[in-house]
A and B are shown apart, each in its own frame.
Chain A
């Protein structure tokens, strides 16, 4: 079955850049699907960060768009998140997930399944 695993630093300093990877097993990313990043701040709800297709087509949350880059590396069967200019408000558990669903001629409609176990990222000096 498809499994996802996040990896990256647990502690990052304010103003620095966060880099996280999501390794996928049980499915080749090059075969398709959108893949996404979602975060959850301590004690709070879920916030979608962005999604990417194997072609490189991306969608980002407008609230984060100026600071976010999501990329895919089919040779490593993984996709990545970069978030710049970090502040304490970016402290959260970061999840990667496969975006299942369907697309029509204009857009795609995706729910998230499965999810990785999550990576806690703390922004602090």
Chain B
């Protein structure tokens, strides 16, 4: 099983600033997705293929990385961006998720 590790667990950032979230895989992968989850809601797909934005996702969200190290960057935080973010690998079965990064208002 591929273990996904996200850091930091909590990130405090001010609105308008940039946020950088990390995701590390226990072995090299090429297929990675990022999701946003707000309280009481289902996760929403942001990024697939490590860097392709899903339909309707604003351009301030970008994904990068390869191998075992991946990054989700939110260029200028809006109030609606404060949520929990998860990465997921879909290279191998079983599909696995990171434990999440909580993005909170500083």
Contact = CB atoms under 8 A, between A and B. Distances in A.
A109 B91 CA distance: 6
B90 A46 contact: no
Interface in A41-82: 44-48, 51, 59-63
Given A45-B97, A46-B97, A48-B94, A111 B44 contact: no
Interface in B26-75: 31, 33, 35, 41-45, 48, 54
Contacts, number: 61
Which range holds the interface residue count of chain A? 20 to 34
A48 B42 contact: no
B48 to A, nearest CB: 4
A87 to B, nearest CB: 20
Interface of B: 1, 31, 33, 35, 41-45, 48, 54, 86, 88, 90-91, 93-100
Interface of A: 36, 44-48, 51, 59-63, 95, 100-101, 107, 109-118
Given A45-B86, A45-B100, A111 B45 contact: yes
